[in-house]
Amino acid sequence: MKRFLAVLTFLVLLSSLSSAEITAKGVKVGVNSTNLHGAYTDMDPKISFCFGGFIVYKVANDFFIQPEIYLTRRGARAKEEDAKLTIKYLEVPVLAKLVLNAKSESDFKYFVFAGGYYSFYLGGKEVVEREEYALDVEKSDYGLVIGAGTDLIFFERKFTVDVRYSFGTKVIDPDEEDIKNKALTLTIGYIF
C-alpha cells in the first residue's frame, strides 16, 4: 500500500510539472553534520560532504517544486571508542519551495521549503580501531526535509545558499529496531 501511494503521488507530481515552467537549474556542494537517531544515542556527529544538481519548476508566482539529486554520505562516530560509520547514498529530495519575497526587486530572494527524500545505498563501511568491516544496512532510506535559504545575485552571477535538516523515517539497520539517519546540511549552489 505504501508503494502504491508513493507511485501515485509521484505520478500526480509529474503530471503537474509537465505544464510547469523551468525557472532555474544548477549545481550545489555542501557540508553535512550527520548522526543516527533512535537506539544509538551515544554517537557523535560525523562531518561529510555532498554535491549534486537541482531544477526549479514554477507552479505559481511564489510557489515552486525543486527536485534535486546528490551524492552524499551519512554516518556517525562513537564517543567512547575509535569507531566511525560511513554510508554513501545517491539521494533524491523533492521539495515544495515558497519564496517569501518573490515580487521584490531585491538581489536576495528568501525561501522556505519542505519535502521528502529517497536515497539509494551506494556502499559503506564501519571502521573500529583501524579495522574495516562491511555494513549490513538497508539498500534504501527515506525521510523528511525542512529548510530555508536565499537566492542571491553576486557580481552579476546567481547563487543559492540553504540550510536543511533531513530526518530519516526508515530503519536502516535490519538487526535493530530503531536506527535512522539524520543530517544538518549547508549547501551553496550556482544557478545557470
d(C-alpha 47, C-alpha 34), whole Å: 6
Q: List all residues 6 or more positions away from 147 whose beta carbon is below 8 Å from its beta carbon.
A: 95, 112, 113, 114, 162, 163, 164, 165
The span from the CA of 162 to the CA of 46, in Å, is 20
- pLDDT, tens only, 36-95: 887 666 788 999 999 999 999 999 889 999 999 999 999 888 877 788 889 999 999 999
pLDDT for residue 2: 56
Q: Which DSSP string do the residues of 150-180 spell out, in sequence order? A: EEEEETTEEEEEEEEEEEE-S---TTSSSEE
Name the residue ranges covered by the structural domains of the chain.
2-191
**What type of residue is 179?**
I
pLDDT recorded at residue 134: 83
State the pLDDT confidence band at 177, using cuts at 50, 70 and 90.
confident
The CATH class of the 2-191 domain is mainly beta
Q: What is the pLDDT of residue 188?
A: 98
Over the stretch 101-140, which tens digit does the pLDDT of each residue have?
Answer: 878 888 899 999 999 999 999 999 988 888 888 888 899 9
DSSP strands (E only) in the chain? 21-38, 43-44, 46-58, 63-78, 83-99, 108-128, 131-134, 140-154, 157-168, 179-191
> At 3, is the secondary structure helix, strand, or coil?
helix
101 sits in which H/E element: none
Q: Which three cell numbers stand for residue 184?
A: 544538518
Q: Can you tell me the distance from the alpha carbon of 72 to that of 74, in angstroms, rounded to the nearest whole number? A: 7
Q: How far apart are CA 183 and CA 30, in angstroms?
A: 12
Question: pLDDT tens for residues 2-50?
Answer: 555 555 555 555 555 555 788 999 999 999 999 988 766 678 899 999 9
Q: What does residue 88 show for φ and ψ, rounded to 5 degrees? A: -100, 135
The model's pTM is 0.86
